[in-house]
Structure 1
Amino acid sequence: MSETTPAPAEQWFKTPRLSGRLVTLEALRPEHGADLSAGATEDTVRFLARGGPAENTPQAWAAYVERLNALPRRVNFAVRSRVSGRVVGRVSYSEVNVADRWVEVGTMLLPGAQGTGVNADAKVLVMDRAFGVLGANRVHFKVDALNERSLRAMRRLGAAEEGVLRAYQVRPDGSARDSVMFSVLRGEWPGVRAGLLARLPGDSTRSGEARTS
């Protein structure tokens, strides 16, 4: 793996607007709770490691966003559809480790955005930033071992499946959660990126060129 100079530490915690073909990412704010509440179902929050809102109301979602934004070493983006203009989920650097040059990525999408290419577009944006702007060596993902949909998505992504962290976290219902660890290294990113772009509609060779504003 070739070396690259990492960005200054403060840059890793910024939330610039990132534009792809299908979505725009922006800083996650409490006012996004209205869109999240309107599109959420019970399954939306079932596998969230940090738990979800107390109830499916704009106010509860706003409180959930505030709770996420208060967590240390975390950066949260709202995923806004460029078609509808509505917020359809969030994607986060759920843990940032500047010293060791890695980030963990976590995603929550509303049901209406699943299977549409939104997930692929959002992942291209945050992973392009991690590897190309921040200078990360590694991006990893931890998936609930019971979340079959997300496990299938990660295996399609082409990330390396590193193993199971047994009883690593506690679910909101109090049960022990096994987490399956996946990772992508900087040298692997071009191939993984190409696979993600191939899932996007239209001219996918250009659709993932992230624009920052």
Structure 2
Amino acid sequence: MTPDVPAAPEAEWFQTPILPGQHVFLEGLNDSHAADLCAGADDETVRLLARGGPGEATPAAWADYIRQLNALPNRINFAVCLRESGVCVGRISYSEIRWADRWTEMGTMLLPAAQGTAVNPEAKLLLLERAFGELGANRVHFKVDSRNARSIRAMHKLGAVQEGTLRQYQVRPDGFARDSVMFSVLRDEWPAVRAGLETRVASLI
């Protein structure tokens, strides 16, 4: 069992402190990360994002996209940056925050070069630890496009519980009504999930 942590004040849930890890650090996503994201992205990077991606493959369009994400209510976004170089290789978000109910939703977008490395498990480890260990969340959930087999496999590898499918739950900018597969981690499940993430981070570069 994870000891109960009192819920942090609502304002704290919407802060974006620097969260340091062994391989990456997280910091508030802003325009300065646009060039790195643009340089490293490909069509697959944004193809299945729930809210779509930038209008074109330019740093200016990525900066506009970042500002749009940061303007969304009940959401905060972190840049995922390599510890050694400072290069931004993706973003990870509390894409919906419900302070009164002590839960948040998480979403991740990583550039191809960062996939299959320690970046993904460590970024999730840092943000899940903040949710359960600092903010006092009872639940963190994830909604995955049902067509995204790679992300669904990643959720099972994480140890999240698959709860079901929300059919035609969200209409993407291209008009497609996507089915979202719901996964979650609860406070009592977090110690086992954390141990698994720590093992994966230690075994990857």
Q: Same fold (TM over 0.5)?
A: yes
Q: Which runs of 4+ in 1 moved over 4 A?
A: none
Specify the code of the residue in structure 1 equivalent to 2:90. G
Specify the code of the residue in structure 2 equivalent to 1:96. I
Secondary structure in structure 2 of the residue aligned to 1:201: helix
Deviations 1:152-208 (A, max 9, x none): 10011110000000000012321110000000001100100111111113699xxxx
CA 1:9–1:164: 2 relative to 1, 3 Å: same
Partner of residue 56, structure 1:
57
CA offset at residue 98 of structure 1? 0.2
Secondary structure in structure 2 of the residue aligned to 1:152: helix
* 2:86 is aligned with 1:85: yes
Quick check: 2:5–2:133 contact (8 Å CA) kept in 1?
no
Identity level (%):
64
CA offset at residue 36 of structure 1? 0.2
For 1:32-111, list aligned pairs within 5 A.
32-111=33-112
Partner of residue 193, structure 1:
194
Quick check: 2:5–2:134 contact (8 Å CA) kept in 1?
no
CA 1:5–1:166: 2 relative to 1, 3 Å: same
Specify the code of the residue in structure 1 equivalent to 2:153. R
Secondary structure in structure 1 of the residue aligned to 2:117: coil
User: How many equivalent pairs are there?
Assistant: 204
Unpaired segments ≥5 residues, structure 2: none
* Aligned mates of 1:135, 1:203 — CA distance in 2: 29
* Aligned mates of 1:131, 1:71 — CA distance in 2: 23
Partner of residue 139, structure 1:
140
* Aligned mates of 1:142, 1:202 — CA distance in 2: 27
* 2:184 is aligned with 1:183: yes
TM-score (norm 2): 0.96
* Aligned mates of 2:26, 2:68 — CA distance in 1: 19
Deviations 1:96-150 (A, max 9, x none): 0000000000000000000011000000000000000000000000000000110
Specify the code of the residue in structure 2 equivalent to 1:183. S
* Aligned mates of 1:19, 1:2 — CA distance in 2: 23
Partner of residue 26, structure 1:
27
CA offset at residue 3 of structure 1? 3.9
CA offset at residue 84 of structure 1? 3.2
* Aligned mates of 2:81, 2:194 — CA distance in 1: 21
TM-score (norm 1): 0.93
CA offset at residue 21 of structure 1? 1.0
Secondary structure in structure 2 of the residue aligned to 1:88: strand
Say which is worse superposed, 2-11 or 75-84, in terms of deviation.
2-11
Specify the code of the residue in structure 1 equivalent to 2:27. E
